[in-house]
Amino acid sequence: FFSNLCLRCLARAKKKSGGGGGGGGDKTEAFWESIETENVKTLHWSLKYGGFSAKLPYDDDNTPPIHFCVQLEKLKSLKTIVESIDRMRSQRDIDFPWQDEDGLTPLMVASQQGWAQGARLLLENGADMKKKDFNGKTARDHAKKEDKKNILKLFDEWESDAPEETLTEAEKAKKAEILARNQEDAARRTAEQKAIEEASRAKEEQKDKAKEDMKKAATAAAWPEVKQALADAKRELRLTKTEDEDGTEIDSFVWKLTSLQVLHLKMKKEVLTALPPDLGALIALTELNISNNSLTKLPEEIKNLTLLKSLTADNNCLESLPEGLASCKKLEVASFVGNELSSLAPLEPITGTLVVLHVSQNKLESIDIPLDKCPRLNFLTASANQLVVVPKKIGACTKLKTLKLADNKLTELPAEISDCKDLQEIDVDGNPFKDKKIAKILSGGHNPVKDLKTYLGKNKKGKK
């Protein structure tokens, strides 16, 4: 382990070279500097209001703040951090294990260095002498190994049964407070662990029951693919049923496949006009593809598919989207090409997660979702609709790479498109633009998208 002198030199060099802040800027650098210089006022503010704590953040050498104090033997800084532990009632932080150093607690580091003042302060504030590191060694073991007699003497004195009457009233109160806090922490940890174990057990029981139910259902399923999927608790099923021999109705046991994560379903024309509420039972679904059917609506029970990341329903007869989509908080891909949609409003609550939105060949007169709340949107295609305007807020889609708005009723493009820094592809052919230069730019040049953004950007500046 580094000597005290080496550690101090390391810390100074780190600060002078701009390190120790983990890349967090002036506030973080000031935090680490306040520990080294024992600037108690700054350190106190950082711990109370700056979002720092005894154990976070690590510095560039992956050293927690409380261990950094002990390394440098900064008693005032250590007292300030210990006070913050008391204030935050985070008693476990006093024995926080340093992951990069075999799980050493602050007391173990003080023991290695022979820093008795720091060790005493930690003991007085509840540090556990019997706590073991990842190698099974206690603070006493570390003191013995480094031959720190002053620490061993301190530990002996601390462990001796001093008469209670020798303690002052303040010391008694402090000791009682630490004991109560430790008991409270232990009770909370026990309760948390019990709750985790019970939840895990209930989840496993639920899985086992679901598998058993699927095996029973397998005997009654009509389609062989569904029978097999139920028997094997499959996670993926791709069904294409366009032949007469399988009847004119979907096998209802598809909705018993609660293990499914991926479902692709294509039926003979006019067979699948609506999905049943039972769709909501497939709560593990992350991908649903129901393209090329005859769906006129989607069930509100889609709200139960909270893990859904991709929904593709191209070439159906959808006139509207269900409000239940608002619960699909993880949806990244939404594709409704070739339907009868006149509004995208039900997607508004989940625009923050959308990466891909395909809505070409519908009846949209506007893009009625807040584009300024689509920070992840990469692809937006809305060709062959009845759009008359592109929202200016499209400029907030800074990650947009592809924009397709061909064959609409657009007469102009907003200058804000120039703010879409990642835009690589744009298709606006077949629109009655007043500015004929737009079509000219896009039909020629080596980099028409860049040229268009430059042109629109100049227009934007001209309007200011």
Q: What are the residue ranges spanned by the domains of the chain?
A: 4-160, 282-463
Burial environment of residue 406 by CB neighbours within 10 A (0 to 12, 13 to 18, 19 or more): middle
Instruction: State pLDDT tens for residues 67-87.
Output: 999 999 999 999 999 888 877
pLDDT attached to residue 266: 93
pLDDT attached to residue 273: 92
CB count within 10 Å of CB 86 equals 16
* pLDDT values of the chain reduced to their tens digit, one per residue, 464 residues: 444 445 444 544 544 444 433 344 578 889 999 999 999 999 999 888 888 888 887 777 788 999 999 999 999 999 999 888 877 766 677 887 887 778 899 999 999 999 999 999 999 888 889 999 999 999 999 999 999 999 999 999 988 854 444 567 777 787 788 778 777 877 887 888 888 888 878 777 777 777 777 777 778 888 899 999 988 889 999 999 876 555 568 888 999 999 999 999 999 888 889 999 999 999 999 999 999 999 999 999 999 999 999 999 999 999 999 999 999 999 999 999 999 999 999 999 999 999 999 999 999 999 999 999 999 999 999 999 999 999 999 999 999 999 999 999 999 999 999 999 999 999 999 999 999 898 888 887 678 898 899 898 887 655 54
* Helices and strands (H, E) in the chain, number of each type: 13, 9
pLDDT attached to residue 463: 56
HSE-CB for 244 with a 13 A CA cutoff: 0
pLDDT attached to residue 166: 58
Residue 211 and residue 230: Cα distance in Å, rounded?
Answer: 8
pLDDT attached to residue 220: 85
CATH of domain 4-160: 1.25.40.20
pLDDT attached to residue 2: 45
pLDDT attached to residue 9: 47
| Helix 40-49 vs helix 75-88: crossing angle, to nearest 10 | 20
Q: Which amino acid is at 93?
A: D
CB count within 10 Å of CB 99 equals 12
pTM as predicted: 0.59
394 with 371: CB under 8 angstroms? yes
29-59 b/e with 16+ CB inside 10 Å = b?
bbbbebbbebbeebbbebbeeeebbbbebbb
Chosen CATH of 282-463 out of 3.40.50.2000, 3.80.10.10, 3.40.50.2300, 3.10.310.10: 3.80.10.10
